[in-house]
Structure 1
């Protein structure tokens, strides 16, 4: 049985008006989120991941112009007033930000910061909210929570502060949790603990998660589906298995080849040459063309549409057109394809 679609983004464009011109940060992005699933959005810095999620939270800068639809529970979020947004943000849709030290108020006790959304959205008394905050601190794995509820952020480690930020996001039992690179500032051991915590919380609450990251290693153990972004557009999306073992877009190949695995030979990691394009003047055709060794002549002239790989897997690359010449991807990608064919019965 298909899961209920809880969020739907249709034809989203976000431009920023600047003195230099109009920055086309998000260019015709569409995707959906199902109840209880984790959707990962991956890509390099500047690909549009964080702009997308800030738009979903109603946190766009004043110079932003937004077109398209963001449909949540029968409401188009792009049409909400700031007063209406204050009822949704932090209540039905909550966000875990990248750096917990800048997310927390250094002058306010942590327990009170966790209690604040409960008092605001549920009209609870301060005492009741603090009692709930204490429960949340225990839920996210803060040891000796009773002793630390009155601590200030500077008294905690980075991993503990991130747990506090997660507790704040969970305070009102949101239906959607947006995690914007929540483990970037943490060491590997703490990263694993935070990811395990988020999976546990999702399982018990049946919440939906949008997980923003540039780290495909994190995606492997966290996501159900993956959307790959480049230059303000989604260029490939599918289940996590399809993206990892049957990738079709050369940009996805590059991301996977830059990620170490247990099979990676010493010195074999490769970076993607060049840099992302200037979105003041997005290039004609496929934006990835200047960095793509597999580019075709048509990539310089015409933007590729999405080609269907399977019912759940689509990629925007002319290489999937029936008229395209056959190209041989890197050996590491061929190995992934072979594994896909063996384990999943997939076809190249």
Structure 2
């Protein structure tokens, strides 16, 4: 039985704006086990970053958690004061942000930026902290680290800066690492290097990772489990094989259908736009964009239907009385491959 390190229950987050209350996160629940990687995927604006910023206590001033629990090692983070969270942030839970240049202080040497968490959270003296910072620079692949530890962020490339941000995030051996689209600003080659580095460092530090992305191709080689998010809600979650090869929600079909693959030269886009969360829909939030939507989708929110012990999807198409529909060709191909995979496992 895997050890559960994080348990998010019925999380709700609103943003106060001049136009009204934006229901950004609407009753989201998921968990994270020790040593695993959970990917949260979805289009921009689906609530991925807001969810994880609630976990680490970095929500904007106009945001308010209006319901739910975030249990980390048996304690509800939402009940901690800002002072208490400062001892958690960077030490027990760390975060890598999208743009490494805005994550680093341009006026500080990188060695100082890596050493600072060690002095604050571990009580190290400056000499020992700098020695550990040098070790971390070498661990994340910065060449000529003895010299470069005294350089400033602008003296590094984007990929090198992201390596430095990873070093800062992992230097205190956190139990959870939140990676918020850490490869978005990088080219494909550097992106692959950063992902390999994260997996390598995860194995060394034994940390659990929440990986936020809209790139399903990245998820395939990175995650153990996947949660699909849309309009502030989770619509499907399961193991990476289940979500990739046996997806059940039409939104997941749309995301996968928009991925380039060697088997198909066609790219399909999802028509329409996400709903206005000032006035969220009462049914399935994806219904207006869903070509398979039924009348009930606009009237009643679907519950999570069990596909397997580890796979659930919130779609009325899984109801016993729902009509049978044929998914897009690419999804059918994936499901056939999944059937083959399951047959091989049984053999």
Aligned equivalent of 2:171: 171
Q: Give me the TM-score of the superposition, normalised by structure 2.
A: 0.98
1:169 alignment partner, SS class:
helix
Aligned equivalent of 1:316: 314
2:278 alignment partner, SS class:
coil
2:105 alignment partner, SS class:
coil
Aligned-partner Cα distance in 2 for 1:49–1:264: 29
Alignment match of 2:272 (pick from 254, 270, 274): 274
1:345 alignment partner, SS class:
helix
Query: In the alignment, does 2:206 pair up with 1:203?
Result: no
Aligned-partner Cα distance in 2 for 1:104–1:337: 44
1:253 alignment partner, SS class:
helix
1:226 alignment partner, SS class:
strand
Aligned equivalent of 2:262: 262
Aligned equivalent of 1:213: 213
Q: Deviations over 1:232-251 (max 9, x none)?
A: 00000000000000000000
- Give 1:28 shift: 0.3
Runs of 4+ in structure 1 displaced over 6 angstroms?
A: none
Aligned-partner Cα distance in 2 for 1:286–1:45: 18
Aligned-partner Cα distance in 1 for 2:191–2:248: 29
Aligned-partner Cα distance in 1 for 2:109–2:204: 28
Aligned equivalent of 2:337: 339
Aligned-partner Cα distance in 2 for 1:296–1:85: 45
- Give 1:17 shift: 1.1
Q: Deviations over 1:119-163 (max 9, x none)?
A: 100111111111110000000011110010010100000000000
Q: Deviations over 1:274-295 (max 9, x none)?
A: 1111111111211101100000
Aligned-partner Cα distance in 1 for 2:175–2:99: 22
2:127 alignment partner, SS class:
helix
Q: Which runs of 5+ in 1 are unaligned?
A: none
Aligned equivalent of 2:5: 6
1:11 alignment partner, SS class:
strand
- Give 1:108 shift: 0.5
Aligned equivalent of 1:23: 22
Aligned-partner Cα distance in 1 for 2:153–2:203: 28
- Give 1:86 shift: 0.4
Aligned-partner Cα distance in 1 for 2:85–2:282: 36
The number of equivalent residue pairs is 343
- Give 1:174 shift: 0.2
2:221 alignment partner, SS class:
helix
1:222 alignment partner, SS class:
coil
Aligned-partner Cα distance in 2 for 1:11–1:345: 36
1:83 alignment partner, SS class:
helix
Aligned equivalent of 1:111: 111
Aligned equivalent of 1:72: 72
Describe how 1:283-298 pairs up with structure 2 within 5 A. 283-298=281-296
Query: In the alignment, does 2:225 pair up with 1:225?
Result: yes
Task: Please tell me the root mean square deviation across aligned C-alpha atoms, in Å.
Answer: 0.9
Q: Deviations over 1:20-79 (max 9, x none)?
A: 100000000000000000000000000000000100110011222212100011210001
Aligned-partner Cα distance in 2 for 1:242–1:149: 43
Q: Which runs of 5+ in 2 are unaligned?
A: none
Aligned-partner Cα distance in 1 for 2:123–2:323: 63
Aligned-partner Cα distance in 2 for 1:3–1:203: 16
Aligned equivalent of 2:194: 194
Aligned-partner Cα distance in 2 for 1:294–1:84: 48
Alignment match of 2:299 (pick from 288, 298, 301): 301
Aligned equivalent of 1:182: 182
